[in-house]
A and B are shown apart, each in its own frame.
Chain A
Amino acid sequence: NAGVTQTPKFQVLKTGQSMTLQCAQDMNHEYMSWYRQDPGMGLRLIHYSVGAGITDQGEVPNGYNVSRSTTEDFPLRLLSAAPSQTSVYFCASSLAGGQPQHFGDGTRLSIL
């Protein structure tokens, strides 16, 4: 049972480039979410989804897009990368209730 799988684990981008961070879960969880973790700060919610076809904004959504076409996958897109988006990104899922229950191991993203 893989749980929550995030790819890639590491990525370096140049300012202005776009990319998609992948998140997949094999637990049939309805709720999925994306967080970013910066030094000295707690995890901050970017976007979340309560089921296929349904997404909503979190605390820091600007510069990011999401979609949820299947229950399993919840990709996060950076439209035009900026140095301020350098961070560690975590995807989480849960069966119900919304509380982030299972986290992936993160994607470490650097924007030059």
Chain B
Amino acid sequence: GQQLNQSPQSMFIQEGEDVSMNCTSSSIFNTWLWYKQDPGEGPVLLIALYKAGELTSNGRLTAQFGITRKDSFLNISASIPSDVGIYFCAGQLTSGTYKYIFGTGTRLKVLA
């Protein structure tokens, strides 16, 4: 089946640093979504992107819908300890369908 490749798989950063992660595919997507999952909980939707080139922010988080429509990027500025968790991207392959494909996640650990 379709796969979304997320990188890096995991990362340790110092508190206050900026973080960048990305999600790539060989297929074109119509919508990109970014989620955060804390241990023992369900994913929480952070940002939704709907068109190529779109740049959207949610507080310290900024995500971009890649121009080729095959990738998306998430940046976190000035990381804090509560940013710890797993970040997932998800994409909608075909407009008008209800099927979203999830990436394998980027595990973020913040060192105080």
Contact = CB atoms under 8 A, between A and B. Distances in A.
A99 B48 CA distance: 9
A75 interface: no
Nearest to A59: B1
B78 to A, nearest CB: 27
Interface residues of A, number: 26
Interface string A64-107: 00000000000000000000000000101000001111111110
B85 interface: no
A21 interface: no
**How would you classify the secondary structure of chain B's contact residues: helix, strand, loop or mixed?**
strand
Contacts, number: 61
Interface residues of B, number: 23
B43 A90 contact: yes
Nearest to B104: A42
B92 interface: yes
Contacts of B4: 42
Contacts of B101: 42, 59
A42 B88 contact: yes
A25 interface: no
B90 A100 contact: yes
Contacts of A56: 98
Nearest to B43: A103
Interface of B: 1, 4, 31, 33, 40-45, 48, 88, 90, 92, 97-105
Given A99-B90, A100-B33, 19 more contacts: A31-B98, A35-B102, A40-B104, A42-B90, A42-B103, A42-B105, A43-B90, A45-B99, A50-B98, A56-B98, A98-B99, A100-B43, A100-B45, A100-B90, A100-B100, A103-B42, A103-B43, A105-B41, A105-B42
